[in-house]
Amino acid sequence: YPVEDVEGENQDHPHHRSIYTAHGLVNGFNLWDEGLGHGAMLQRGEPVVGVVNGAAFIDGVVDWCGPEGQKLLEEWRVYKIQADGDLRIVDQRSEFRAKYGDVTFGDTKEGGLFSIRVPTSMDAKDKGRIENSEGQVFDSGQGEETTWGVPAAWVDYSGPLGDGSEWGHTVVDHKDNPWHPTHWHVRGYGLYTANPFGLHDFKGDENVDGSWTIDGGKTAVARFRLIIHPDRGIDGNPKIKQLIDEFQAV
């Protein structure tokens, strides 16, 4: 849910659509959740899909629009999808083009430039586990969610699937992203998103402002890597750390 109905899945937050990019305050408009008066992100035409050197590519343009259909931002988004044994690697490159004037990503926790909603069976408040590059861990609902709202180069969210097998997702924030290391809006109920802007929420301080602006006519690039892997956490699989390092090196 919401991509399809699965028995036992929590049916909340219908805007948590698998892997996605969105933000709740773009030039003052909500493009994060869905509803009347909110903005929308619209795919322009058909994406280009192909395979090059064993990797699949999806290449397309997304228009970020206000509630009246006015264009706020043009995003050129490319996915590169690869397999490495039982690992799956998804690289996302987003080029944000401020073609219509200044674009401000406002300070709110409701958003993320790379977002995932994990299966309910994997929720860290129950049987799942969250860890990050700083050594902070939230496991099976024990203790505080110290992984929420803090900066980290990567975060891993893992846990059981419905059949009892353990799988996980590692998301890596590229070192060349303007805000690296990003903060993370990652929760025990399954939301998992790289959000560099929501600082007043994360720090609990109304005097802090994490808003970020792309000047009109300028562009900004954001890159993330997703590694889907078997097992709980990343310690038992040195290949994951290798893939993190390789991504940061290019």
In a domain, 127, yes or no: yes
Q: 110 burial class (0-12, 13-18, 19+ CB within 10 angstroms)?
A: buried
Could you tell me where the beta strands, DSSP code E, fall in the chain?
Answer: 19-23, 40-52, 55-65, 71-84, 87-97, 103-105, 111-117, 129-132, 137-139, 154-160, 166-173, 184-186, 191-194, 212-214, 219-230
- Any idea what the CATH number is for the domain that residue 124 is in? 2.70.98
Structural domain includes residue 9? no
164 residue type, one letter: G
Which residues of the chain are modeled with pLDDT < 70? 1-17
C-alpha closest to that of 117 among 48, 17, 214, 46: 17
pLDDT at res. 159: 96
Residue with tokens 């709980």: 232
Q: Is residue 16 part of a domain?
A: no
Q: Residue 100: give the domain boundaries.
A: 23-248
Give the sign of the dihedral formed by CA 202, CA 205, CA 210, CA 211. positive
For the chain, how many structural domains are there in total?
1
In a domain, 1, yes or no: no
What integer pLDDT is reported at residue 162 of this predicted model?
85
pLDDT digits (tens, 9 = 90+) for 61-74: 999 999 999 999 99
Can you give the pLDDT at residue 14?
A: 62
